Amino acid sequence: MKQLLEHIRTDALAAFSAAGDAQALDALRVKYLGKKGELTALLKQMGRLSPEERPVMGQLANQVREALASALERRQRDLEAQALTARLTSEAVDVTIPGRPAVLGHRHPMYIALDEIKDIFVSMGFQVVDGPEVELAEYNFDKLNAEEGHPSRDWSDTFYFDTDSRVMLRSQTSPMQVRSMEVMPLPIRIIAPGRVYRKDEVDATHSPMFHQVEGMVIDKNVTMADLKGTLNLLAEQLFGKGTVTRFRPHHFPFTEPSCEMDVQCHKCGGAGCPTCKGEGWIELLGAGMIHPNVLRMAGIDPEIWSGWAFGMGLERTAMRRFKIADLRLIFENDMRFLEQF
Ligand code: PHE
């Protein structure tokens, strides 16, 4: 019996210190000290011993049990400490590793073009103003001399919010002419950039949402020569010295006379190519002398004041400015495209 007890002690102690983790150690606890463990099994046989042997063996058995229990506890603590150290090492943050560089974005090419346009006009004393995209037909049409029945008011061209066609997504930035006339003291020089909406299918040159920059001057003795001079200056500053422009007669309800300005195609230099649809020219803006009716409706006396206005397509301007062939590239946000500017 004594030998058996000693044997269990040596065995168990060796096994405890060899246990690699808490789970293995717990299995050993069950094996040696559990209810069905080796030590318990041995103690059950104590009854067979002689009365002299019993207390001696009992004492020894207790010593072995205590030795095993305390060795078990020590090993448990060691394993916990080891596990903690391992975790601390594996989860340690190396603060000396260089950081990942932050990817810096930049302005969208269309907004680069817009900022250039703003700079050009601000340097000529224009103010930049902003207006609502959800607009009243009163401002988008009525006060711009486009009365009921005008083709541009048609449901097939315009996004209306109501059945009587009074509230709409603005189809042009021209309502900002009227809004400025109504609140600003004369003389006025403004540009008004922003989004406009028309029921157009998406293709290489069209989108149901696009941007315009409206421009307007109202002063005394303003003439068409001022309009042409200013717009030619704009074209040269934006597209480079020697940029060729042309003015064609056109019609708008709110200007008289009216015109459109084209710039010579950057791709073919005027010979005609797919980018300019064989025309040699790219239409950039509509313009004209503000119609006396428009001035009168805004409470401005056309006998004293005169003015001009223009509305330019911003996407087209950016396309000409950066030699972009397809309008859709401007809205698709493909990084391979955007990173080129
Ligand atoms: N609003 C016109 C358009 O969208 C452009 C324009 C603006 C024409 C100002 C004349 C004067 O086509």
> Among 40-49, 165-174, 255-264, which is the least confidently predicted range?
40-49
255 C-beta closer than 6 A to ligand 1: yes
Measure the CA–CA gap between 218 and 241, rounded to whole angstroms.
Answer: 28
The pairing of beta strand 188-197 with beta strand 127-128: parallel
* Amino acid identity at 296: R
* 130 C-alpha to ligand 1 centroid (Å): 17
Output the pLDDT for position 238: 94
- Does the pLDDT of residue 11 top 90, yes or no? no
What does the DSSP 8-state code read for residue 130? Answer: -
Q: What percent of the chain has pLDDT over 90?
A: 56
- Does the pLDDT of residue 45 top 90, yes or no? no
Which residue did the predictor score with more confidence, 326 or 258?
258
252 C-beta closer than 6 A to ligand 1: yes
Q: Are 106 and 341 in contact (CB under 8 A)?
A: yes
* 313 C-alpha to ligand 1 centroid (Å): 9
Most confident of 57-61, 89-93, 105-109, 182-186: 182-186
Position 8 confidence tier, pLDDT thresholds 50, 70, 90: confident
Average pLDDT of 316-337?
90
- Does the pLDDT of residue 12 top 90, yes or no? no
Q: Please state, as a whole number, how many other Cβ atoms lie within 10 Å of the Cβ of residue 150.
A: 13
- Does the pLDDT of residue 267 top 80, yes or no? no
Among protein residues, the one with the nearest Cα to ligand 1's atom 12 is 286
Distances (CA, A) of 278 to 247, 281, 286: 18, 8, 21
309 C-beta closer than 6 A to ligand 1: yes
Output the pLDDT for position 230: 97
Output the pLDDT for position 50: 84
* 175 C-alpha to ligand 1 centroid (Å): 10
Which residue did the predictor score with more confidence, 179 or 154?
179
* 185 C-alpha to ligand 1 centroid (Å): 23
Measure the CA–CA gap between 220 and 6, rounded to whole angstroms.
Answer: 119
Q: Are 40 and 64 in contact (CB under 8 A)?
A: no
For the chain, state the CA radius of gyration.
44
Output the pLDDT for position 31: 86
Among candidates 213, 211, 247, which has minimal Cα distance to 229? 247
**Minimum-distance ligand 1 atom for the alpha carbon of 177:** 9
Position 266 confidence tier, pLDDT thresholds 50, 70, 90: confident
Read off the pTM. 0.71
Residues 6 or more apart whose CB falls under 8 angstroms from that of 237 comprise 116, 120
* Amino acid identity at 166: R
DSSP-assigned letters across all residues of 187-230: SEEEEEEEEEE-----SSS--SEEEEEEEEEEETT--HHHHHHH
Output the pLDDT for position 323: 87
* 324 C-alpha to ligand 1 centroid (Å): 23
3-state DSSP assignment of residue 128:
strand
